[in-house]
């Protein structure tokens, strides 16, 4: 991986996310390896954390942090956490409270934020919620984008967790031009240390619309790239785009699965990076994996990559 993956930020916050998951297992498994490399504070309800440890029969020591900005009374050989007591009956409200505090701490300090996986359906049943990338953008009043960074190549979907039938609405020329302009600016932000050698835009329709016989979207995308974004090649047909991939390539896609399916198949390691915020936010490139909770089967590689980034 390029210099983006070299850590310069020694202090991090971890939003614990959904405890009905492998999240705590990942943290416990990685503690010994990370303790001399990173100082980090877990933002969570401490009673839930203790309950999980009891079920895991873990003897690891928990240290409650008094001042999460100054890392007061931090202890290297412990799991350091800042308690955000669950005050609501609804789970999603407690999680929102934790993520809002995590965001405030990062804004105050500039430290990185690692958000552990959540079950988005818990939120979506109660409030408009497409995902953490979009939510952090909303509360910070910033345009954000999800960049999945892998050791072989990276992807950036222009739309994420929306119904496929609505994707075309985001391809209107003025909106697409504005989004790409923001994204290309973010990618050059020094704090991310990104160094992509090439950018490729994936066609919206099969075979790039077959000379406008399937649709005209790719015709207008081509005009936009030629006239305004010459550093982006394409659009190129998605069904052959991932053959003979050169490292340092970022694929820009119009919708989620178009990019995420090949990304997760062809990259063994990957992290989710939110671009557009005033701080760096990472998340493991997997879900809650609640089906293997308490089974000691969790793979720590993506989480550790987030922590070392």
Domain match, 263 and 278 both? no
Domain match, 137 and 165 both? no
CATH of the domain at 134: 3.40.718.10
Q: Write b or e for each residue in 51-65: b if 16 or more Cβ atoms lie within 10 A of its Cβ, otherwise e.
A: ebbeeeeeeeeeeeb
DSSP class of residue 192 equals: G
Mean per-residue pLDDT of the chain? 89
Phi/psi of residue 150, nearest 5 degrees = -125, 170
Domain match, 165 and 125 both? no
Confidence band for 167, pLDDT divided at 50, 70 and 90: confident
Domain match, 209 and 233 both? yes
* Number of domains comprising the chain: 2
- CA neighbor of 201 nearest in space, from 225, 227, 167, 172: 225
In tens, the pLDDT along 18-47 reads 999 999 999 999 998 998 899 999 999 999
pLDDT at 4: 45
pLDDT at 283: 94
Burial of 298 (0-12, 13-18, 19+ CB in 10 A): buried
Domain match, 156 and 254 both? yes
Domain match, 54 and 108 both? yes
Domain match, 80 and 206 both? no
How many helices and strands (H and E) does the chain possess? 9, 12
Confidence band for 162, pLDDT divided at 50, 70 and 90: confident
In tens, the pLDDT along 212-261 reads 888 888 888 899 898 888 899 889 999 999 998 999 999 999 999 999 99
pLDDT at 166: 87
Domain match, 16 and 143 both? yes
Domain match, 48 and 139 both? yes
153, pLDDT greater than 90? yes
Per the structure, the complete domain to which residue 63 belongs is given by 1-147+270-309
Cβ(284)–Cβ(117) below 8 Å: yes
Residue with tokens 């790719």: 218
DSSP class of residue 116 equals: P
pTM: 0.87
Distance CA 151, CA 230 (A): 25
- N-terminal to C-terminal alpha carbon distance within the chain: 10
């Amino acid at each position: 991986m390029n210099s983006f993956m070299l850590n310069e930020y020694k202090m991090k916050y971890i939003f614990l996310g959904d405890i009905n998951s492998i999240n705590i297992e990942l943290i416990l498994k990685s503690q010994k390896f990370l303790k001399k490399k990173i100082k980090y504070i877990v933002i969570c309800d401490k009673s839930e954390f203790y309950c999980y440890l009891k079920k895991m029969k873990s003897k690891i020591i928990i240290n409650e942090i008094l001042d999460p900005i100054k890392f007061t009374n931090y202890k290297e050989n412990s799991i350091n956490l800042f308690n955000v007591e669950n005050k609501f009956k609804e789970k999603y409200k407690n999680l929102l409270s934790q993520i809002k505090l995590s965001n405030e701490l990062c804004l105050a300090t500039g430290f990185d934020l690692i958000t552990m996986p959540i079950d988005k359906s818990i939120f979506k049943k109660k409030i408009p919620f497409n995902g953490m990338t979009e939510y952090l953008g909303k509360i910070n009043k910033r345009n954000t984008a999800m960049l999945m960074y892998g050791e072989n190549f990276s992807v950036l979907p222009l739309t994420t967790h929306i119904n496929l039938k609505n994707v075309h609405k985001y391809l209107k020329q003025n909106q697409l031009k504005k989004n790409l302009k923001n994204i290309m600016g973010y990618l050059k932000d020094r704090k991310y240390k990104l160094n992509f050698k090439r950018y490729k835009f994936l066609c919206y329709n099969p075979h790039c619309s077959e000379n406008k016989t399937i649709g005209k979207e790719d015709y207008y995308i081509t005009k936009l790239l030629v006239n305004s974004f010459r550093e982006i090649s394409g659009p190129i047909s998605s069904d052959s785009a991932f053959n003979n991939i050169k490292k340092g390539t970022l694929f820009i896609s119009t919708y989620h699965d178009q990019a995420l399916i090949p990304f997760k198949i062809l990259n063994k390691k990957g992290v989710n990076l939110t671009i557009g915020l005033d701080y760096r936010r990472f998340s493991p490139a997997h879900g809650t994996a609640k089906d293997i909770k308490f089974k000691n089967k969790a793979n720590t590689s993506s989480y550790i990559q987030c922590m070392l980034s």
